[in-house]
Amino acid sequence: MVAETVPHDLLDHVMIAWNGSLEATRLIGQSITLLHEAAGVTVVHARSERFEEARAADLCGDLRWHGIAVEAVTLDVGDGSSVGAAVLAETERRCASMSALGAYTHSRVRELLLGGVTRHVDEKARIPVLMAH
C-alpha cells in the first residue's frame, strides 16, 4: 500500500507490527529478502492477552539468525485503546520509512463491524505499508 508521499529511501527503517499470527508469519517469510536490504528493522509488539504467545524477542532472534539488524519494542496499550493507533504512533515517533504487518488476522466480518489494526492502518497510515494475508 503506497501512501501519498513515498520516502526517498523506502528501506531506511522498516517497522514490523508483530502479533504472532499466521498472517504476520507469512509476511516475514515473504519479505525476508526485502528485510535484508533494510538499513534498520524494528519489531513492534503490543502487550495484549496473547503477549506471551507471540513475543517480539522470538522474532528478533530469528531475524538476527538471518543476518538482519533488528530491535524489539513493546507497546503498553490500555483497555479501550487502539492497537493500530499505538503502532502508527510508534512508527511516526521512530521516523520509519515503511511499515509491515500481517493483514486481516480476524474475519472480515469482525473487522467490518468492530474495526481492527488492519483497517486502522489502512485508513490512517502516512507511509507505505507492506501487508500479507
Over 60: is that where the pLDDT of 51 sits? Answer: no
Task: Let me know if residue 27 belongs to a domain.
Answer: yes
Task: Let me know if residue 92 belongs to a domain.
Answer: yes
Task: Let me know if residue 98 belongs to a domain.
Answer: yes
Q: How far apart are CA 12 and CA 15, in angstroms?
A: 10
Task: Let me know if residue 99 belongs to a domain.
Answer: yes
Over 80: is that where the pLDDT of 56 sits? Answer: no
For position 17, which CATH number holds?
3.40.50.620
Q: How far apart are CA 82 and CA 69, in angstroms?
A: 28
Locate the DSSP E strands across the chain.
13-17, 40-47, 70-76, 98-102, 129-132
Task: Let me know if residue 44 belongs to a domain.
Answer: yes
Task: Let me know if residue 104 belongs to a domain.
Answer: yes
Task: Let me know if residue 20 belongs to a domain.
Answer: yes
Count the domains in the chain.
Answer: 1
| Structure confidence by residue, pLDDT tens digits, 26-48 | 999 999 999 999 999 999 988 76
Domain span at residue 43? 13-132
